[in-house]
Structure 1
Amino acid sequence: MTHPDRNDDAVKDLVRRHWNDRAPTFDDASHHGIHTDDQRDRWSSVLREWTGDDPRQVLDIGCGTGVISLLLAGLGHDVTGVDVAPRMLERARAKAERANRSIEFYRGDAEALAVPDDAVELVTARHLIWTLPNPERAIEEWQRVVEPGGRILVIEGYWDHDEPWDEYEEIHDNLPMYDGRPPDELRSVLTRHGLRDIEYEPLLDPVLWGREPHHEYYIMAGTVSR
């Protein structure tokens, strides 16, 4: 049974609970973690192409176990990761320590960041928008923390699951972008919120996901124009 009138705090609490419970095994899935050198190299190549060669101040929102954060740090960027789930952050910190990467991870809300205006050059988020009760509010918040001319980069997809599972059985009606969105739809949302120079490309190389991709994955970026 879903509860469309459930308040945001209750929805976010169930989202946090879901990802806390999944933290110990999250990286085990081939399409979540990094399992081979080829997979790491392929992701690094994609991220280098989209972030450029110059080091940037990056805020990785919804960082989870730090997969993208560590890859970006490996490319020379100054990375901070934020996530709602403490157990995900524990794993991210442990992975960064093992890799000898200096990355700050802290708990936070993607829709209300404890970050000053114009604090970073780049915001990144992988498979996050579908988990948010107010995704368009989040996009506005991400623009607030990015300096003018900076970029917002998302790795997203459209998965159209048959049925919601676990905590999402209760809250999927409260998540406007549940199941993700096709790239043209997300591009329209970003355009409506003022991002410019929006580009995207499919991410369908099996090496990226450790298997043949089962969904319509893509990467998209736009420039903050305020």
Structure 2
Amino acid sequence: MTRPDRDDGHVKTLVRRHWNGRAATFDDESQHGIHTEAQRERWLSVLREWTGERPRQTLDVGCGTGVVSLLLAALGHDVTGVDFAPAMLERARTKAARAGLPVGFVRGDAERLPVPDDAVDLLTARHLVWTLPDPQGALREWRRVVEPGGRLVLIEGFWDHDEPWDEYEAIHDDLPMYDGRPPAAMRETLESCGFRSVDHEALADPVLWGREPRHEYYLAVGTVPE
């Protein structure tokens, strides 16, 4: 339940500070970055299955260091990444330049995207909704920018953090999905926010994460009604 005294501006300031501070080392963890060719190929296979073969105008929200953005670009999609943390965007731009991939990156708030209505036909986000003060509002915002018939693809999970850490010690109670959601609960949330044909796939293959997954990871998809 949302706290009535929640200060979203303060919450977002601490969230941005946290991820700016982690930008330089974020990719070092096996479940975050791409560390082997087998891991890369496995992610490409998963994303190809759910995004399709034809190139799509794509928005990768909460793109961080650009891991998913670059994978989508490698599949031929026209990708723009959006993130709230400037240090993350700087890393993403550097990686895209080194890879020779034409990905654009812009700063923006996942709950108030700097994008017109019906601007893209694919929107992706990886492990993002847990860190938003208004995740359902964000999902409705994402539906706004995806054209009718377009697709939402989320890489999500259900976890139980032992203890909040760093900036999250002060704000975890202000994040309604802080511990993620099981697939069935995420499906209900997506449907309540107007998405249809909602489906999910378990992401339990250790190759994806560079180790045995510690949490219940999955991919959830939905479409915007035509």
User: For 1:183 and 1:160, how far apart are their aligned partners in 2?
Assistant: 15
Equivalent residue of 2:24, what SS?
helix
SS at match of 1:24: coil
SS at match of 2:100: coil
1:193 and 1:30 map into 2 onto residues whose CA distance is 32
Is the contact made by 2:34 and 2:67 (CA closer than 8 Å) also made in structure 1? yes
What is the Cα deviation at residue 192 of structure 1? 1.0
Quote how far apart the aligned CAs of 1:6 are. 3.4
Say whether residues 1:141 and 2:109 are aligned partners.
Answer: no
Counterparts of 1:15-54 in structure 2 under 5 Å? Answer: 15-54=15-54
CA RMSD of aligned residues (A): 0.9
Partner of 1:113: 113
CA distance in 1, matches of 2:42, 2:24: 25
Cα distance in 2 between the residues matched to 1:73 and 1:40: 13
The within-5 A match list for 1:157-168 is 157-168=157-168
CA deviation digits over 1:44-76, x for unaligned, max 9?
000000000000000000000000000000000
Q: Which amino acid aligns with 1:185?
A: A
1:94 equivalenced with 2:94 (yes/no): yes
The residue identity in structure 1 corresponding to 2:7 is N
Identify the residue that residue 68 of structure 1 maps to in structure 2.
Answer: 68
Report the CA distance between 1:193 and its aligned residue: 1.4
TM-score normalised over the length of structure 1: 0.98
User: C-alpha displacement at 1:5, in angstroms?
Assistant: 2.4
- Answer yes or no: is the 8 Å Cα contact 2:70–2:101 preserved in 1: yes
> 2:150 is paired with a residue of what secondary structure?
strand
Matches within 5 A, 1:188-199: 188-199=188-199
1: distance between equivalents of 2:6 and 2:220? Answer: 31
CA distance in 2, matches of 1:194, 1:6: 26
Secondary structure, aligned partner of 2:25:
helix
Paired with 1:22 and 1:62, the residues of 2 have a C-alpha distance of: 14
TM-score by length of 2: 0.98
Residues in 1 aligned to 2:142 and 2:193: alpha-carbon distance in whole angstroms = 11
Work out the number of aligned pairs and report it.
224
- Structure 2 alignment gaps of length 5 or more: none
**Alpha-carbon offset, residue 4 of structure 1:** 6.8
Unaligned runs of 5+ in 1: none
8 Å CA contact 1:4–1:174 kept in 2: the answer is: no
Q: Which 4+ residue blocks in structure 1 deviate beyond 6 angstroms?
A: none
Distance 1:129 1:145 in 2: 17
Greater CA drift, 26-35 or 184-193: 184-193
CA deviation vs aligned residue, 1:5-24 (integer Å, no higher than 9, x gap): 23101100100000000000
- For residues 194 and 94 of structure 1, what CA distance do their matches in structure 2 show? 36
1:95-134 CA distances to partner (integer Å, 9 max, x unpaired)? 0000000111011000000100000001000000000000
